[in-house]
Amino acid sequence: MKNKGLVLSLLSVLSVCSCANAQDTIGLFIYDSNDTFMASFANSVEEGFDAMGVTYLFQAAGRSQDTQNQQVISLLDQGSSLSVINLVDRLAASAIIEKADKSGTSLIFINREPLQSDLNGHPNDFYVGSDSEQAGDLQASLAEQLFVKGEMDAKTCPYDKNGDGVINLVIIKGEEGHQDTELRTARCTKRLIEDGYSINVLTTATGNWTTEGGYQAMETIAKDYYDVSDPDKQEIELIYCNNDDMAAGAVNYLKDKGVLINAAYSDQPIQIIGFDGTQTGRRLVEDGYIYGTVLNDAVTQGAHVCALAQKILAGEDTSDVEQIDRVSGKTITKSTL
Amino acid sequence: MEPAPQTIGKSNFFHTLAFRMGASFGTLILFFTSAFATTAYFTFNNYVTTSAKTQAEATSDTMAANYDDYFSSVISVSNFVASEVYNLIDPAASSASLSSDFDSIIAVKTDLSSVAFFSYSGDECLVNDSSFSFDGHNVSATDWFLNAVRNPTLNIFTPSENNSFKLSKVLPYAKGSSMGVLMVQVSSLASSVYKVDLGGGGHAVIYDKDYKLIYDSEDSLLAEEEVSVLKDTVIGYQVRDLGDHTYLISQYTISNTRWRLAIFQNFDAVGQTLSNFVITTVIIAVAFFFVSMVVLSFLSNSVTKPLKRLRNSMQVVEDKGYTSYEPVSVSGTLETRDLARNYNEMMLRIKSLTDDVIQEQNAQRLAELHALQNQINPHFLYNTLDSIVFLIDDGKKKEASEMVVALSRFFRISISKGRNIIPLEDEIEHVRNYLLIQKLRYKESFEYSFDVDPQLHDLRVIKLILQPLVENAIQHGLLNKEGVGRIAISGHMNGDILVLTVRDNGFGIMPDKIADIYSSFKDKNVYNGVGLKNVYQRLKVYFGEKADVKIDSVLDEGTTITLFIPVKERKINEE
């Protein structure tokens, strides 16, 4: 029995070894397959992996951190030298890092940023994602292209519908409490204030990152602040959306109510600024329903992930690589499409 | 080296049938029972462990989901307040309505004891529920406040005494133009979360990333041993022995908190079931083995016991000879019974044959001795030789020559090159020569005749069976008789039996004497008796029960001796 056990364990060790050498499976875990942006991000990483000729396992967690934990553990148990993880809950990072350290597996977190304190002291773990603060700034800069400072001061800006020199805006947020929601929301208003604008945030509503959520959020907001048939109740001049899917929902609602028309952005009574620069967002810009969106650059981020992955898999020294890699976004308007 | 002498004895136990049967069947049974028991154990073990583990894991998962939901529900309070205060322009003006909103929250979520919203500097409480009283002390130095300010996008959970904890978060208000800090005091986890039976010693533990205990459903402390076990797995499942119990330990992260959850579920039942199974299996296997061995030994005994008895009997016979043979008891299987029965029959047969042969040999030796004594009886020889001399003196050369020839033939047939079985023709010739010699000696005092069918001449008989009868007839019947004595010798077949008769017309034998002769036939002592008894016993030895000798005599008229010889049943072939 003892010998048998030894042989079995040797066999399993051998199989793990051969697996790690010949067929190292890399994990690619995203929080939800229904998220348009994450789907395109994952797609970009997959293309990179295919080009590198590595074997990978792609799994989505359906917005459950427990599910994701199981998926990650199961791959770690098989022995994997690298996993790319889009966390459901970014606070779960410390446990996953601790677990991965036991098997010497490197981790690249994407899109949802672990706390700096969780990454500290774990040089094999990295983050690649967007720069949320910069993204907020870019959203603000899009607003500033519409609401030109001089015109606002002179109260002659065509988008300042009531001509009071104050931007009346509403914000459709992602999940309440979500890091990106908070940072983007806080930054896009703060920046305007810093740049000397007078703004009035009429209200905020959450749309849970989805098109339907955006539609419902817009409906809630419009109830108090916009009525196409009541000129006294047409306060909204600008809508910030935390992502393009929700912007699409808001556009759908406003089209249904006849607020938005099939025309150039400059002819619309309300200006909308989205985020992510997904296919959906680009079409809205193209069609003139929204003024612009901020590109959360999935392709560039995907390329960064793959470059880092290649380094890790080749066993190169990664000590000089910055643990946190925030990729800058870009503004997209009709003129830059 | 000389080969060791072969013995039937007990010297090599390992070569016995009992040992070989026991060893081979025992090994076979042992192998199959242990193979069966092992297979059964592993199958059962795998099945029980897997299914019990799956079930227990599902229970833990559900419980973990409850904890997740619970913390989400606390966070949803924070989110709700966040949306409430965002549009709050003047806290002082709206304080009353917000405060009543906070009261409603506490009324609905009974596990919360207070909700308060502080200024970013921490020196002012902007809004609070009606039960909360701000004592004016600056809260900005407390952990929960500092951590919230340090991580403005996070809901911070901070443990406080008695399993209670605080949620704190930085919230923008006045349309994002100002910041404040929310504090939600959770007095205890809602009972619904942990009311799951985890078995003896089972409990749920919440701890932080440094494995510092935050909450324990059983109010126990996180033992050092438990901590190291938790550190082994981090997240996932494991089965471990801790203290007196076996646990399935499931570890999770709690969503939107930096805390982790470990659920210790009592897993003793599985070990208990398995050890019960092992005990039962071992008992059955051992019992089966022993019953098999008992049956086997019974079986092997039924074969080897009778064989051993046979062997012992053979050993005795070998050591001490056939005379010491005692019948072996018949027992065991059909085969061994047959064997014992046949052995007994064989031994009895051998014994009787041996006895017969010994007896016959003795009888013959004596007969030969007697015959030789008679034949080379000095008187017989002297008288014969004297007779020959007289004949020559008288000038009876022809008679002298006949007598010499008869004497020579007489002795040749007597000796017959040592053979006992001779053709009937030779036996008759022998008697004829004898009679010729006697007749010449006694000068025509008797006559004799032969009446034997020449077809019978080739039949095989034992030698020296007629001469003693003829000698008796001359000696006791005819000598000194007045008138002419007659001796008639005849032979014919009566069925399968050769009947030889010697008849004389002498004095006859007294009936008492005949009875004595008959009874002397049964006397085994061969040295005791007369020629007739010797003939009788030799016939019995050679031709069996059907052989017989009959004496008929009438006083003063004569005697007839009849020999009955079943020639086809001759048992001893020694031609």
Fold of B352-569: Heat Shock Protein 90 (3.30.565)
Q: What's the CATH architecture for B21-183?
A: 2-Layer Sandwich (3.30)
- A99/B234 Cβ within 8 A: yes
In this prediction, residues A125-134 reach a mean pLDDT of 91
Whether the pLDDT of residue A17 is over 50: the answer is no
pLDDT in tens, B203-251: 888 999 899 888 887 766 667 788 889 999 999 999 998 888 889 999 9
Distance from CA of B80 to the nearest CA of A (A): 9
B170, B258, B259, B261: which to substitute to probe chain A, counting the most A Cβ within 10 Å? B258
For domain A2-130+299-327, give the CATH superfamily: Response regulator (3.40.50.2300)
Q: CA distances (Å), A276 to each of A243, A322, B446, in order? A: 6, 24, 163
> Terminus-to-terminus CA distance in chain A, angstroms?
70
Whether the pLDDT of residue A2 is over 80: the answer is no
pLDDT at position B477, please?
A: 76
Residue B8 confidence class, pLDDT cut points 50, 70, 90? very low
Query: Which among B65, B175, B235 is the nearest to A69, CB-wise?
Result: B235
In this prediction, residues B187-200 reach a mean pLDDT of 72
Residue A13 confidence class, pLDDT cut points 50, 70, 90? very low
pLDDT in tens, B124-151: 888 888 888 887 777 888 999 999 999 8
CATH 3.30.450.20 fits B192-270, yes or no: yes
**Residues of chain A neighbouring B256 (CB-CB closer than 8 A):** 89, 91, 177
pLDDT in tens, A308-327: 999 999 999 888 899 999 99
Q: Which residue has the higher pLDDT, A18 or B68?
A: B68
In this prediction, residues B9-15 reach a mean pLDDT of 66
> Does residue A224 sit at the B interface (CB-CB below 8 Å)?
no
Other CB atoms closer than 10 Å to residue B389's CB: what's the count? 11
Residue B572 confidence class, pLDDT cut points 50, 70, 90? low
**Smallest Cα–Cα separation from A323: which of A91, A80, A109?**
A109
pLDDT at position B193, please?
A: 67
Q: What are residue A93's phi and psi, to 5 degrees?
A: -55, -40
Residue A171 confidence class, pLDDT cut points 50, 70, 90? very high
The residues near B406 (Cβ < 8 Å, ≥ 6 apart) are: B433, B436, B437, B440
Q: Are A160 and A237 in contact (CB under 8 A)?
A: yes
pLDDT in tens, A215-267: 999 999 999 999 988 888 899 999 999 999 999 999 999 999 999 999 999 99
Other CB atoms closer than 10 Å to residue A309's CB: what's the count? 26
> A65-78 and A93-103 are packed helices; what angle lies between their axes, rounded to 10 degrees?
10
pLDDT at position B414, please?
A: 76
Q: Is A231 exposed, middle or buried (0-12, 13-18, 19+ CB in 10 A)?
A: exposed
The residues near B393 (Cβ < 8 Å, ≥ 6 apart) are: none
> B268-320 and B334-375 are packed helices; what angle lies between their axes, rounded to 10 degrees?
10
pLDDT, mean over chain B: 83
Q: Which residue has the higher pLDDT, B71 or B331?
A: B71
pLDDT at position B468, please?
A: 84
pLDDT at position A238, please?
A: 96
pLDDT in tens, A32-64: 998 888 999 999 999 999 999 999 999 999 989
Q: Extract the tokens encoding A286.
A: 């193209």
> Does residue A65 sit at the B interface (CB-CB below 8 Å)?
yes
Chains A & B: contacts with CB separation below 8 Å: 83
pLDDT at position A9, please?
A: 45
Query: Which among B152, B234, B257 is the nearest to A91, CB-wise?
Result: B257
What percent of chain B has a predicted confidence (pLDDT) above 90?
A: 18
Fold of A132-295: Rossmann fold (3.40.50)
Closest residue in chain A to residue B69, using alpha carbons only:
A64
Whether the pLDDT of residue B369 is over 60: the answer is no
Whether the pLDDT of residue B61 is over 80: the answer is yes
- A102/B234 Cβ within 8 A: yes
> Terminus-to-terminus CA distance in chain B, angstroms?
45
Distance from CA of B319 to the nearest CA of A (A): 55
- A206/B86 Cβ within 8 A: no
- A182/B235 Cβ within 8 A: no
Distance from CA of B153 to the nearest CA of A (A): 6
pLDDT at position B421, please?
A: 82
- B82/A177 Cβ within 8 A: yes
pLDDT at position A337, please?
A: 82
B34, B210, B237, B256: which to substitute to probe chain A, counting the most A Cβ within 10 Å? B256
pLDDT in tens, A266-282: 999 999 999 999 999 99
The residues near A301 (Cβ < 8 Å, ≥ 6 apart) are: A41, A44, A110, A111, A128, A129, A130, A327
For chain B, the residues whose C-beta falls within 8 A of a C-beta of chain A are 61, 64-65, 68, 75, 78-79, 82-83, 86-87, 151-155, 169, 172, 175-177, 209, 233-236, 251-253, 255-258, 260
pLDDT at position A7, please?
A: 45
**Residues of chain B neighbouring A85 (CB-CB closer than 8 A):** none
**Amino acid letter at B404?**
V
Closest residue in chain B to residue A73, using alpha carbons only:
B236
What percent of chain A has a predicted confidence (pLDDT) above 70?
A: 93
Whether the pLDDT of residue B91 is over 90: the answer is no
Q: In what order do the strands lie in the sheet with A25-30?
A: A55-60, A25-30, A82-85, A106-110, A125-130, A324-327
Task: Enumerate the domain spans of chain A.
Answer: 2-130+299-327, 132-295
**Smallest Cα–Cα separation from B198: which of B60, B54, B61?**
B60
Q: What HEC string does B256-322 produce?
A: CCCCEEEEEEECHHHHHHHHHHHHHHHHHHHHHHHHHHHHHHHHHHHHHHHHHHHHHHHHHHHHHCH
Distance from CA of A56 to the nearest CA of B (A): 22
In this prediction, residues B33-52 reach a mean pLDDT of 88
pLDDT at position B534, please?
A: 77
- B177/A177 Cβ within 8 A: no
**Residues of chain A neighbouring B147 (CB-CB closer than 8 A):** none
**Residues of chain B neighbouring A208 (CB-CB closer than 8 A):** none
pLDDT in tens, B420-454: 788 999 999 989 998 988 888 777 678 899 999 88
CA distance A141 to A147: 10
> Does residue A95 sit at the B interface (CB-CB below 8 Å)?
yes
Distance from CA of A304 to the nearest CA of B (A): 26
Q: Are strands A166-173 and A125-130 parallel, antiparallel or unpaired?
A: unpaired
The DSSP symbol for A310 reads H
- B86/A204 Cβ within 8 A: yes
Query: Which among A95, A179, A201 is the nearest to B234, CB-wise?
Result: A95
Distance from CA of A202 to the nearest CA of B (A): 8
3-state secondary structure of B369: helix
The answer to ipTM > 0.90 is no
DSSP β-bridge partners for residue B265: B248
**Residues of chain B neighbouring A98 (CB-CB closer than 8 A):** 209, 234
- A89/B253 Cβ within 8 A: yes
pLDDT at position A23, please?
A: 59
pLDDT at position B5, please?
A: 45
In this prediction, residues B18-44 reach a mean pLDDT of 85
Q: Where in chain B is the domain with CATH 3.30.565.10?
A: 352-569
Longest dimension (CA), chain B: 196
Q: Lowest-confidence range among A125-139, A167-181, A258-272, B255-269?
A: A167-181
Q: Alpha-carbon Rg of chain B, whole angstroms?
A: 64
Q: Are B126 and B132 in contact (CB under 8 A)?
A: no
What percent of chain A has a predicted confidence (pLDDT) above 90?
A: 69
pLDDT in tens, B351-360: 888 877 777 7
pLDDT at position A138, please?
A: 94
pLDDT in tens, B106-126: 998 888 999 999 999 988 888
**Residues of chain A neighbouring B79 (CB-CB closer than 8 A):** 176-177
CA distance A269 to A144: 17
Please state the pTM of the whole predicted model. Answer: 0.65
- B152/A182 Cβ within 8 A: yes
Whether the pLDDT of residue B573 is over 60: the answer is no
Whether the pLDDT of residue B161 is over 80: the answer is no
Distance from CA of B263 to the nearest CA of A (A): 14
pLDDT in tens, B462-498: 888 888 888 888 887 777 777 788 899 999 999 889 9
pLDDT at position B407, please?
A: 87
CA distance A51 to A27: 16
Distance from CA of A50 to the nearest CA of B (A): 30
Query: Which among A92, A177, A200 is the nearest to B79, CB-wise?
Result: A177
Query: Which among B176, B233, B253 is the nearest to A186, CB-wise?
Result: B176
The DSSP symbol for B417 reads G
In this prediction, residues A130-150 reach a mean pLDDT of 92
Topology agreement, domain A2-130+299-327 and domain A132-295? yes
> B397-415 and B378-393 are packed helices; what angle lies between their axes, rounded to 10 degrees?
160
Residue found under tokens 């677990």: A99
- A96/B82 Cβ within 8 A: no
- B176/A189 Cβ within 8 A: yes
Q: Using CA atoms in the order A117, A118, A121, A126, what is the torsion angle rounded to 10 degrees? A: -110
pLDDT in tens, B375-390: 455 667 787 888 888 8
Judged by CB atoms within 8 Å, which residues 118-147 of A form the interface with B?
118
pLDDT at position B374, please?
A: 53
Q: Where in chain B is the domain with CATH 3.30.450.20?
A: 21-183, 192-270
Distance from CA of A209 to the nearest CA of B (A): 16
The residues near B433 (Cβ < 8 Å, ≥ 6 apart) are: B406, B407, B409, B410, B413
Q: Alpha-carbon Rg of chain A, whole angstroms?
A: 23
**Smallest Cα–Cα separation from A325: which of A183, A187, A130, A136?**
A130
pLDDT in tens, A67-108: 999 999 999 998 899 999 999 998 999 999 999 999 999 999
Q: Which residue has the higher pLDDT, B374 or B223?
A: B223
CA distance A210 to A172: 11
Q: Lowest-confidence range among A286-290, A310-314, B404-408?
A: B404-408
Whether the pLDDT of residue B347 is over 90: the answer is no
